[in-house]
Amino acid sequence: MAKRAAMPPLSARVGRTELAATFAMAARARALRSQGHDIISLSLGEPDFPTPAHVVEAAHAAAVRGETKYPPLAGTDALRAAVRRKYQREQKLDVPEANILITNGGKQAIFNVVMSVIGSGDEVVIPAPAWAGYEQTVRFAGGVPVFAPCPQAQGFVLQPGALEAAITPRTRLLLLNSPNNPSGAVFSPAALARIAEVLRRHPDIWVLSDDIYEHLLFDGSPYATLAAVAPDLADRIVTLTGVSKSYAMTGWRIGFCVGPAEIIKACTVVQATATSGVSSIGQAAALAALEGPQDFLTERAGQYQARRDLVVARLNEARGIACHRPDGAFYVFPDISACLGRTTKAGRRLENDTDFSLALLEEAHVAVVQGSAFAMSPHIRISTATSAAVLDRACTRIAEFCNCI
């Protein structure tokens, strides 16, 4: 048999980028489920609510009308106008439609911005804990992620001193995420004002404000975004959101970002190179979401808040777990440090939060994600985007697991 020729080399950028641990944990949970185990998966951040019926109907109507051709690169005029009205209505921000870009989900908006401003060796400050996709995208672009720690003792909120300490002459971008994945922390207007004070001393830094969980707020927490709190910095802030989380439209893949004309133009070039325009049918659905009834957003946020209360109370009763009470999103991010150094009922020694997460899955059949995947250990992330009954059952299993170590 002839010897197989060596494969040509792959790009270095692929080698420095790994798939998120959330995907790996979800795959492991599916494998165990396929073997007949009763797995409760709390590893993915995806709403369990259906897409609103009027949104689905709008997409169907658009398809019937023949809106199935190539869409405009930057987005349809109707959707960009709706995004402009959304920001006027919710944040008193008046952004010209030319400064709005519709993207293939919020993730592409992040990719567009990072690829537009980051070169080899440039640094990006990321408050930690942080969604793993930020680090992956920065490394893919050849940049260097620099984590600014936001510990549980500070409510997982970025403090001015931590931001200042993370900034160097190589810093080109600050990534903000509020409400935060994985901690659920919400940056108040006062907290954002303190961040703005630091940024004023560093005029060469861009800011990307990821507000994808903007409507998932609890206990009367106000929605605030940096461009509204510090309008003098608006010429270097890109604000992104989308319909995935609030409107339960993850599979529709519609995001949007707004910002200064210069960077939105650059982002449009990146998008033109990577994917071109966004699904015309998805844009019709997003238009219906933004322009249709909004009262259900408050109702669903109330259900998420009730789930949070259930999970926080139950986890804080478990041996070795200290769970902070988040103000938004649909996650909790408990500290499990008191569980480490112990041995499970099955004989597995827990040295770190990865050990804890794998043991919890394999022995208690509950899937969570280790805090190390979000640049902060020892924690675990638990998604509360499922029913109260399922969460209650999962918390019982977690407590039984912890009480036996």
| List of domains in the chain | 12-50+296-403 (3.90.1150.10), 54-291 (3.40.640.10)
At 27 the pLDDT is 82
- List, in sequence order, every residue forming a beta bridge with 335; answer none if it has no partner: 322, 379
Q: What secondary structure does DSSP assign to 12-48, as a single string? A: HHHHT----HHHHHHHHHHHHHHTT---EE--S----
Residue-wise pLDDT for 223-252, tens only, equals: 999 999 999 999 999 999 999 999 999 999
Provide the pLDDT for residue 14: 78
- Taking residues 278-305, report their average pLDDT: 98
Model confidence, pTM: 0.94
* 153 class by beta-carbon count within 10 Å (0-12 exposed, 13-18 middle, 19+ buried): exposed
pLDDT of residue 264 exceeding 70, the answer is yes
Q: What is the pLDDT of residue 9?
A: 85
Q: Which residues neighbour 126 within 8 Å (Cβ) at sequence distance 6 or greater?
A: 134, 135, 138, 145, 146, 147, 148, 175, 375
23 pLDDT band, cuts 50/70/90, is confident
For range 84-104, the mean pLDDT: 95
pLDDT of residue 20: 66
* pLDDT, position 13: 81
pLDDT tens profile 33-68: 899 999 999 998 899 999 999 999 999 999 999 999
The long-range contacts involving 62-70, CB below 8 angstroms and separated by at least 24 positions, are 62/280, 62/281, 62/284, 62/285, 63/281, 67/280, 67/281, 67/284, 68/280, 68/281, 69/280, 70/276, 70/277, 70/280
Q: Given this model, what pLDDT does residue 124 score?
A: 98
d(CA 152, CA 228): 27
pLDDT, one tens digit per residue, over 309-358 is 999 999 999 999 999 999 999 999 999 999 999 999 999 999 999 999 99
The confidence band for 129, taking pLDDT boundaries of 50, 70 and 90, is: very high
Dmax of the chain from CA atoms?
Answer: 71
Six-digit token pair at 198? Answer: 């630091």
Q: Looking at residue 250, what is its pLDDT?
A: 97
CA atoms of 130 and 47, how far apart (whole Å): 19
Which of 397, 402, 396, 398 shows the shortest CA–CA distance to 342? Answer: 402
Q: Is the pLDDT of residue 7 over 90?
A: no
Q: Contact 257/40 with Cβ under 8 angstroms?
A: no
State how beta strands 206-210 and 144-149 pair. Answer: unpaired
Confidence at residue 2, expressed as pLDDT on a 0 to 100 scale: 63
- 318, 332 Cβ separation under 8 angstroms: no
Percent of the chain with pLDDT over 70: 98
133-180: pLDDT as tens digits: 999 999 999 999 999 999 999 999 999 999 999 999 999 999 999 999
* Cα 371 from chain centroid (whole Å): 14
Confidence of residue 5 (pLDDT cuts 50, 70, 90): confident
Quick check: 377 and 370 in contact, CB under 8 A? yes
Whole-number mean pLDDT of the chain? 95
The answer to whether 185 touches 327, Cβ cutoff 8 Å, is: yes
